[in-house]
Amino acid sequence: MSASNNTANVAKAANAGSLSPNSSYLLLAIETSCDETSVAVVRDGRNVLSNIISSQIDTHRQFGGVVPEIASRKHVESITIIVEEAIREADISLENIDAVAVTQGPGLIGALLVGVVAAKSLSLALDVPLIGTHHIAGHIYANHLIGDIVYPALALVVSGGHTELVLLEQEGKFRIIGRTRDDAVGEAYDKVARALQFPYPGGPYVDKLAQEATEEVVLPRSWLEPDSYDFSFSGLKSAVLAEINRSRMKGESPDFSALARGFQNSVIDVVTVKAMKAAKEFGVKQMLLCGGVAANKGLRERLASLCGDVGLPLLIPTNKLCTDNAAMIAAAADLKWRRGEFSTLDLKAEPILSLEDWSVGS
Amino acid sequence: MNQNINKGEDSSVTVLSFDTSTASLAAAIVRDGVLLDSIVSFTERNHSVRILSEIKELLSRNGLQGKDIDVVAAGQGPGSYTGVRIAVTAAKTLAWAWNKPLLGVSSLEALAFGAWKSLQSADENIDFDTETWIIPLMDARRGQVYTSRYSAGHSDKWDTIDKDGIRLIADWSERIEKEATMDSQVSSIWFVGEIAPHKVAIEQAEQSGIRLRTLTCDMDPGAVGQLAELRFRRGERDDVHSFVPNYTQLAEAEAKLLAASRGE
Ligand SMILES: [Zn+2]
């Protein structure tokens, strides 16, 4: 295997002959792309035996956001502890693991490195295949842990780092039809939350405040060009800040709950209208909502109601499977396992990694 | 759990060791103090890409498997933050998966120890009746170095005088020069490792004109394993789960937060 070639289409080298891709197998997956150290053991790509998530959020909160160097340090402190816990909770022994999957990217490079080096070490020590996995493919395939995906499907990915509309014409083939041009949805939520004086991460507070609000400060919708499925949220965030300033200049105290509702309604209008339009244009048979912001109650309810109106089936993972976790990485890695598409020990952590290029068979 | 925990002083010990704290990736198999085989690569920024392939190659070309390894050892830093995390993560994960003893070694001590061995073999007129100070340097930018101090001499004398830390090279070399003047036992002083960025500061500290000497060198691939084996034979072990790099300083954000909380 050459050093420059990260992916090798080889028959399962380590256990050749002992397992066919269709028989029952155990996958251990590691996710360390941001501030969660997570390890899961999943049987046959769908049956989650354990999914341990160690959040660093209490550490990062005092800094008002994720500090990459500190995230990397925390991953080193936790990694073997979490692997051991995942094995114990799955009630298996390490020797039963048939393959190791890991988030290769995108994410914070220093954080990704810890997971990638640990996964490669396990792959070598256990002599089992390694599967470098795309983080967003993980978010999308979290849906496969709770239901059957029907193709073509459209995924609306909303998280702290991503806002994308992804078309899946068939299993494991990703086509991005829309993406944010500036802030991700989750990022906009956190910035607005800070302006509304909520602690980091403030997205859930804004959601809750918007739900409870009786008034609404109507804010602009950023539709971009008529035929575009792209998003932009930085103008909306600025509009919130401008409203707060305007109130203060007039000596009034800004109505935070009305602003939260205005912001949330603008975001939800834009993402759901675009998602529904794309679903119609591409004739999809299913809508998939995923990513950390998929836990947003307002968004879930609106999308469910719009899908219900046109009879489009909708899948949304449980809240635990929406946030960063390793079970979703196993669910995506299963696509590669079943096709025998493995990585070499020279797998490289990639802070920027193309989802489309990660598609199966490419 | 660790089947080799009671390995006697006389039995053979095979150590798999590696270090990624500097520009070189150094991996080695050391058996009973002797370097059996090693791989050194200078593809900085690629340590994380190559480390496991290099280890695999090292094991397979020596006909070894995980079960044949008695000790997994890694340089624990200091050095590049990202760099030291690579060796530390690989070491703790391999040791955990193989259920083998884990031993960490100071990367600075390994750098110094390797330099001392090469000075001895290069016949640098070392007076073994007196003491030689070995001072390893790794550049830490802005006139700073990661450094420590060891005293070497006859009958394998090797003692730590100063522990690993981050210091200003100008102050540090001046202090070394001053202390050597007061200690008649010290015959020679060697600054070793990453010398080039700090040569001027060392020369400025020099008073006698002959005493402070320098040796530019890279990490010796066998040094981590040899130092780890000494620790192993003394019965020392590191805990896999709590094994972390020695960064020698807080992350920048932590330092700022601490300063703010003190009202600085
Ligand atoms: Zn994510």
Backbone angles phi, psi at A153, to 5 degrees: -125, 155
* pLDDT score recorded for residue A186: 94
Residue ranges of A 82-141 with Cβ closer than 8 A to chain B = 83-84, 94, 109-110, 113-114, 116-118, 120-126
The whole-number pLDDT of residue B169 equals 97
Q: What is the dihedral of CA A152, A153, A154, A155, to 10 degrees?
A: -140
Q: What is the mean pLDDT of residues B1-29?
A: 80
Residue B195 at interface with chain A, using a CB cutoff of 8 Å: no
Which of B120 and B192 is assigned the larger pLDDT?
B192
> What number is the average pLDDT over the span A188-203?
92
For residue A17, pLDDT over 50 is answered with no
Sequence-separated (6 or more) residues with CB below 8 Å from residue A159 = A139, A184, A185, A186, A291, A292, A293, A294
Q: How far is the CA of A137 from the centre of ligand 1 (A)?
A: 10
Whether the predicted pLDDT of A207 surpasses 80: yes
Query: E strands of B42-101, at which residues?
Result: 71-75
User: Residue A288 above 60 pLDDT?
Assistant: yes
Tokens of A206: 């804004």
At residue A20 the predicted structure's pLDDT band, cuts being 50, 70 and 90, is low
Nearest to B92 by CA among A43, A79, A322, A263: A79
Residue A200 pLDDT: 87
Task: Dig out the tokens for B151 from the structure.
Answer: 């005293």
Look at residue A5 in the predicted model and tell me its pLDDT.
Answer: 40
Is A202 assigned to a binding site? Answer: no
Ranges A20-24, A258-262, B68-72: which has the least confidence: A20-24
Contacts of B85 in chain A (CB under 8 A): 72-73, 76, 110, 113-114, 117
**Shortest Cα–Cα distance, B192 to chain A (Å):** 29
Residue listed under structure tokens 């995390």: B85
DSSP letters spanning A299-335? HHHHHHHHHHHHT--EE---HHHHSS-HHHHHHHHHH
**Spatial contact of B76 and B114, defined as CB atoms under 8 Å apart:** no
List, for residues A29-70, the tens digit of each pLDDT value. Answer: 999 999 999 999 999 999 999 999 999 999 999 998 899 999
| Pair of tokens at residue A2 | 């050459």
Do residues A271 and A289 touch, judged by C-beta distance below 8 A?
no
Among A107-116, A217-226, B126-135, B142-151, which is the least confidently predicted range? B126-135
Residue among A114, A125, A344 minimizing CB distance to B89 = A114
- pLDDT digits 0-9 by tens, A62-101: 998 899 999 999 999 999 999 999 999 999 999 999 999 9
Q: Looking at residue A22, what DSSP letter applies?
A: T
The first and second tokens of residue B12, run together, are 């053979």
Residue with tokens 């992804």: A166
* Closest alpha carbon to A104 in A33, A187, A23, A18: A33
pLDDT at res. A211: 94
| Among candidates B51, B81, B244 on the partner chain, residue whose Cβ is nearest the Cβ of A117 | B51
Q: Do A346 and B49 touch (CB under 8 A)?
A: yes
Work out the pLDDT band at B207, boundaries 50, 70, 90: confident
Residue B126 is predicted with a pLDDT of 74
The average pLDDT across B248-258 equals 93
Res. A12: pLDDT tops 70: no
A297-310 helix and A203-212 helix, angle to the nearest 10 degrees: 70
Residue B244: its chain A contacts at CB < 8 A? 73, 76-77
Kindly state the DSSP code that residue A198 receives in the 8-state scheme.
P
**Nearest chain B alpha carbon to A67:** B253
pLDDT at A226 over 70: yes
8 Å CB contact of A117 and B244? no
CATH topology of domain A150-316: Nucleotidyltransferase; domain 5 (3.30.420)
The answer to the question of whether A135 is labelled as a binding residue is: yes
Q: What is the mean pLDDT of residues A250-279?
A: 96
Among A174-183, A263-272, B207-216, which stretch is predicted with the lowest mean pLDDT?
Answer: B207-216
Q: How confident is the model at residue A301 (pLDDT cuts 50, 70, 90)?
A: very high
Question: Using the beta-carbon criterion (under 8 Å), do A117 and B253 form an inter-chain contact?
Answer: no
pLDDT of residue A212: 95
Test mutation, B16, B45, B48, chain A, max A CBs within 10 A: B48
Whether B29 has a pLDDT exceeding 50, the answer reads: yes
Mean pLDDT (whole number) for A95-124: 98
Say what the pTM is.
0.93
Q: Which of A3, A67, A72 sits opposite B85 (nearest CB)?
A: A72
The per-residue pLDDT for A3 is 37
Q: How far is CA A36 from the centre of its chain?
A: 12
Side-chain half-sphere CA neighbours of A6 within 13 A:
15
On the question of a common fold for A3-141+322-358 and A150-316, the answer reads: yes
Chosen for mutation from B21, B39, B41, B49 (greatest number of chain A CBs closer than 10 Å) is B49
Distance from the CA of A131 to the center of ligand 1, in angstroms? 18
Q: How far is the CA of A210 from the centre of ligand 1 (A)?
A: 24
Closest by alpha carbon to A48, among A161, A182, A165, A141?
A: A141
Task: Tell me which chain A residue has its CA closest to the CA of residue B87.
Answer: A117
Q: What is the mean pLDDT of residues B124-140?
A: 87
Determine if residue A190 is labeled as part of a ligand binding site: yes
The single-letter code of the amino acid at A47 is: N
Phi (first) and psi of residue A159, to 5 degrees: -150, -175
Tell me the CATH number of domain A3-141+322-358, given options 3.30.1300.10, 3.40.1190.20, 3.30.420.40, 3.40.50.2300.
3.30.420.40
Q: pLDDT confidence of B210, banded at 50, 70, 90?
A: low
CB contact under 8 A, B253 and A94: no
Q: How confident is the model at residue B183 (pLDDT cuts 50, 70, 90)?
A: confident
Q: Does B252 touch chain A (CB under 8 A)?
A: yes
**pLDDT for position B122:** 82
Query: Given a cut of 50, is residue B14 above it in pLDDT?
Result: yes
Whether residue B9 is predicted with pLDDT greater than 60 in this model: the reply is no
Instruction: Give the pLDDT confidence score for residue B8 in this predicted structure.
Output: 53
Predicted local distance difference test score (pLDDT) of residue B181: 86
| pLDDT of residue B209 exceeding 80 | no
Name every chain B residue with its beta carbon within 8 A of the beta carbon of A344: 53
Give B257 to chain A, closest Cα distance, Å: 8
**pLDDT score at B128:** 73
The token pair that represents B86 in the structure block: 């690579």
- Assess whether pLDDT exceeds 90 at residue A265: yes
Could you tell me where the DSSP H helices lie in A91-233?
Answer: 109-126, 135-141, 185-195, 203-212
Mean pLDDT of B52-62: 98
Stretch B92-118: mean pLDDT, rounded?
A: 97
Choose, out of A5, A121, A123, the residue to mutate when testing the contact with B (most B CBs < 10 Å): A121
Q: What is the mean pLDDT of residues B69-75?
A: 98
Q: What is the DSSP letter of B62?
A: T
Tens of pLDDT, residue by residue over A331-352, are: 999 999 999 999 999 999 999 9
pLDDT of B28 above 80: yes
Peptide bond into A21 cis (omega under 30): no
Asked if the C-beta of B249 comes within 8 angstroms of chain A's C-beta atoms, the answer is: no
For A70, which of B89, B94, B253 is closest by C-beta distance? B253
Asked if A80 has any chain B CB less than 8 Å from its own CB, the reply is yes
Say if residue A148's pLDDT is above 50: yes
Q: Round the average pLDDT of chain A to a whole number and report it.
A: 93
Residue B253 CA to ligand 1 center (angstroms) comes to 23
Task: Locate the domains of chain A by residue range.
Answer: 3-141+322-358, 150-316
- With beta carbons less than 8 A apart as the criterion, state whether A79 and A348 touch: no
Q: How far is the CA of A139 from the centre of ligand 1 (A)?
A: 7
Q: Scanning the structure block, which residue is given the tokens 């005088």?
A: B161
- Select from B86, B97, B251 the Cβ nearest to the Cβ of A67: B251
Residue B231 confidence class, pLDDT cut points 50, 70, 90 = very high
- Looking at per-residue pLDDT, the higher value among A12 and A158 belongs to A158
Cβ(B25)–Cβ(B80) under 8 Å?
Answer: no
Query: Could you tell me the end-to-end alpha-carbon distance of chain A, in angstroms, rounded to an integer?
Result: 18
> CA B86 → CA A144, B47, B93, B166, B205, distances in Å?
33, 7, 11, 21, 36
pLDDT-based confidence at residue B213 (cuts at 50, 70, 90): very high
